[in-house]
Structure 1
Amino acid sequence: MELYDQVLEAIQAIQTRTSLKPEVGVILGSGLGDLATEIAEPAIVPYADIPHFARSTVKGHAGRLIIGLLENVPVVAMQGRFHLYEGYHLQVLTLPVRVMRQLGAHTLIVTNAAGGVNPAYRPGDFMLIRDHINMPGLAGANPLLGPNDERFGGRFPPLAHAYDAQLRALAHSIAASSPEIMLHEGIYTMVGGPNYETGAELRFLRAVGTDAVGMSTVPEVIVARHAGMQVLGLSLITNTATGNETGEVNHAEVLAAADAVRPRFAALVRGIVREIPRLIATS
């Protein structure tokens, strides 16, 4: 079955649960899924009930699609994402982004938990993604490999400005009104995982300009831009990852760091979502 037909089948299953047309898509990273509980009038669809959706296998990823209202804005949220290290093909991993776009979402907010390669970053800080380095992509792993379907987008999508400048400015303005939110802006590098990086790898990533490192996000951004969506990327810094640490990072630490900043994360994302319709109307 062609990918486009898979997307249509997934949409048909979702639309049996709700007729709401989302405007904003949100992908909630490791430990950040609780924001989905703040969505009003939710239609909750387990991934297992959606044809062609993969299954979340990682702790901190609930595996549900939620459609409803956040700050009175129609949204569709992934409460848990899929990762390359789970063994999924990149087209499978990114199919939910295709579905979000075809459901009506024109903007994607993609979030993740990341290690702070920049020595100025501290656990609990946030980083807006200004640009990315795609390590798996540099080795040939790309969700757009294969024949291009023009119904999704053009063959060669530009990514020089993948992360929308207006959305980043909006996020900065929201954060400025909340002194407890430390918001940086920098370069996110995706690695394949599931192992955490060696000290030598982290020092290399820092040398090439990385500010934060993680195991997700970039394939979803590529597909979103291929589909013409505006993208905002937001990383929660859960641990330092400069290459000089004496201890070992672990997933429990990542989830604990995410839990500690849950109110700040929710306030930031809710504020951004609230202002997106105004931003779209004036742009």
Structure 2
Amino acid sequence: MPSDLSQDALVPDLSALPRLADPLPSPLHSSHPIDLARLPGSYYSALVAIRERLPKELRTPKVAIVCGSGLQGLAEVLKDRVLVSYSDIDGFGESTVRGHQSALAFGFLGKNRTPVVCQLGRLHAYEGHKLEDVVYPIRIMRLLGASIAILTNAAGGLNSSLLKVGSIVALVDHISLPSLTSMNPLIGSNKDQFGPRFPPMSDAYDYPLRLSLFRAAHELGLLEEAKVEETGGVVEGVYAWVAGPTYETRAEQRFLKAAGADVVGMSTVPEVIAARHAGMRVLTLSLCTNMVVATPYRLAAPVAKAENDPAFGANEGLQRVRTAVGEVLEKEEVANHQEVLDVSARRADDMRTLVERTIERVFGEDAEEHGGVVLRN
């Protein structure tokens, strides 16, 4: 067992596991070092397995980045990158979703070489994973030292007046129907080593991080009119989490839109909850990869009536009804995962550069606003 992992040596330096608290302000931070002995044994063995595979300078990442469907390329620009497979980490499951890997990528990001860890392949409840297992990687990355979580996902668009396919949506809030009923990663005995029994979620999405993001978007030209017209730009909105794996019915998408959601997806919110519970600051980006199906229902009653209308021939009657109700559909509109991957690939570079420049600002020009110090080469 590496000497810097002894359970009585939790001091905040680069050669030991960091304290849960850090200099970034948050009402959820603990002022005491976390006691690994009070957590399941998999936490300790996972930390050992990860840290023994890393050089000392990468053992304490400052930022945890979760890469969603088709967005794994965020990790490809890391300097001095080291991959640690999920299969080598106790307690980690395997992602079965196309477009997801199953590894943690460690490295330096940006001109100020900020140490980060990228989760390549998130777990989902619809794969059969327990929510505690879904958020386990977030908690491990927090224990490694990450105090900021940047979460990305692919999502369906609900609000066509705000966004379109290709829009990057910085979340300001979420609607979590599963956790309002029976699915919440904090159900069960509280892991008070991480945070309180009843953590607030009204401030889940960090404003200073979002401000740095939009400053970065301006610098990169992502908010210029021509770019917005071409790609959908960068906007702020509300995310609805649904359990999946089925895409929404037309009635469900109308319900979610009426409730105030702008985008909808099958992930991320459990990780947001666990990250905030553990005192992490959260920035979440949803890439709108498709607009949810909103075409009218194909009504059978008027067609059957027209077929039997004595005033018209069958063909003429059918055409009259179809024209009147706008139901001439050459192809039924449906959502599909390939569309998600295709749009993710087209906007991968914008997502990557936006996240990279945001992190540079957080630990550079905007550092004082984030309660930290400037990292220099």
Aligned twin of 2:197: 155
State the Cα RMSD in Å: 1.5
Higher relative contact order (CA 8 A, sep 6+): 1
Aligned twin of 2:152: 111
1:224 Cα deviation after fit: 0.3
Aligned twin of 1:65: 104
Structure 1, unmatched stretches of 5+, are none
Query: How far apart, CA to CA, are the structure 2 residues paired with 1:66 and 1:247?
Result: 37
Determine helix, strand or coil for the equivalent of 1:127.
strand
Determine helix, strand or coil for the equivalent of 2:363.
helix
Could you tell me the TM-score, scaled by structure 1's length? 0.96
What are the superposed Cα offsets for residues 160-198 of structure 1, whole Å, 9 maximum, x if unpaired? 110000111111111122133611101000000001000
Aligned twin of 2:53: 17
- Contact 1:224–1:231, Cα closer than 8 Å, also in 2: yes
1:17 Cα deviation after fit: 0.9
Indicate whether 1:261 and 2:303 are aligned. Answer: no
Query: How far apart, CA to CA, are the structure 1 residues paired with 2:172 and 2:142?
Result: 22
Aligned twin of 2:65: 26
Aligned twin of 1:42: 81
- Contact 1:134–1:191, Cα closer than 8 Å, also in 2: yes
Higher strand share: 1
What are the superposed Cα offsets for residues 4-54 of structure 1, whole Å, 9 maximum, x if unpaired? 432221111000111311000000000000111111101101111111001
Determine helix, strand or coil for the equivalent of 1:74.
strand
Query: How far apart, CA to CA, are the structure 1 residues paired with 2:71 and 2:99?
Result: 8
Determine helix, strand or coil for the equivalent of 2:335.
coil
Aligned twin of 2:362: 276
Q: 1:40 to 1:223 in 2, by over 3 A?
A: same
Structure 2, unmatched stretches of 5+, are 1-36, 297-331, 372-377
Q: Tell me the matched-pair count.
A: 283
Aligned twin of 2:135: 94
Sequence identity (%): 43
Query: How far apart, CA to CA, are the structure 1 residues paired with 2:172 and 2:83?
Result: 32
Determine helix, strand or coil for the equivalent of 1:113.
strand
Determine helix, strand or coil for the equivalent of 2:359.
helix
Aligned twin of 1:131: 173
What are the superposed Cα offsets for residues 69-125 of structure 1, whole Å, 9 maximum, x if unpaired? 011110010011011100000000100000010000010000000001011311111
Query: How far apart, CA to CA, are the structure 1 residues paired with 2:333 and 2:218?
Result: 33
- Contact 2:62–2:116, Cα closer than 8 Å, also in 1: yes
Query: How far apart, CA to CA, are the structure 1 residues paired with 2:368 and 2:278?
Result: 20
1:147 Cα deviation after fit: 0.8
Query: How far apart, CA to CA, are the structure 2 residues paired with 1:244 and 1:155?
Result: 44
Query: How far apart, CA to CA, are the structure 2 residues paired with 1:176 and 1:161?
Result: 25
Query: How far apart, CA to CA, are the structure 2 residues paired with 1:149 and 1:64?
Result: 25
Query: How far apart, CA to CA, are the structure 1 residues paired with 2:245 and 2:39?
Result: 27
Determine helix, strand or coil for the equivalent of 1:145.
coil
Query: How far apart, CA to CA, are the structure 1 residues paired with 2:259 and 2:184?
Result: 21
Q: Where in structure 2 are the equivalents of 1:77-226 lying within 5 Å? A: 77-120=118-161, 121-177=163-219, 178=221, 179=224, 180=227, 182-226=233-277
Query: How far apart, CA to CA, are the structure 1 residues paired with 2:260 and 2:133?
Result: 30
Determine helix, strand or coil for the equivalent of 1:170.
helix
